Amino acid sequence: MFRTLRTLRSTLTVALAVLFIASAGALAAEATISGTVQNVDAQQGRITLNSGEDKTVELRAPAALLDGLQSGDVVEVKVSGPKATFIRKQEGVQRPDIGGALRLHQPVEMPKSQ
């Protein structure tokens, strides 16, 4: 009887450890990326994003998620591994060109203190 309980306890411990590792891996694999669409290929099911300084990401995505997207769109993408699972176009958001020249403005005259 004690031997059966010991075996059952060992089996449960191993099962819980495997479950913990699998769920930690699944949580770590999901992420959200914001960026500017560089290229959309609905036929191949691929989208390329610029998500920061010199950081380009290519993802696979179902054609339905890519419908209506074009280069220059600012999007938020939920990813699981190398695959996009959700894409939301951010309307009215303009992402500044990264790596471009800065636009300098003329200094503003401040009122003199009295």
* CATH (domain of 41): 2.40.50.140
Query: What whole-number distance in Å separates Cα of residue 114 and Cα of residue 112?
Result: 6
The highest-confidence range among 38-42, 94-98, 103-107, by mean pLDDT, is 38-42
Is 53 a domain residue? yes
Phi, psi of 56 (to 5 degrees): -110, 135
**Count of structural domains within the chain:** 1
pLDDT-derived band at 104 (thresholds 50, 70, 90) equals low
In a domain, 25, yes or no: no
Tokens 């003329």 correspond to what residue? 106
What is the per-residue pLDDT across 3-55, written as a single tens digit (0 to 9) for each? 787 887 888 787 767 766 766 555 555 788 889 999 999 899 999 999 877 78
Please, which residues have CB within 8 angstroms of residue 57's CB and are 6 or more apart in sequence? 33, 35, 48, 49, 51
- Whether 92 shows a pLDDT value over 80: the answer reads no
Does a structural domain hold residue 50?
yes
Residue 62 lies in domain:
31-89
Domain contains 61: yes
Within-domain flag for 114: no
> 3-state class of 67 per DSSP?
coil
- The whole-number pLDDT of residue 91 equals 78
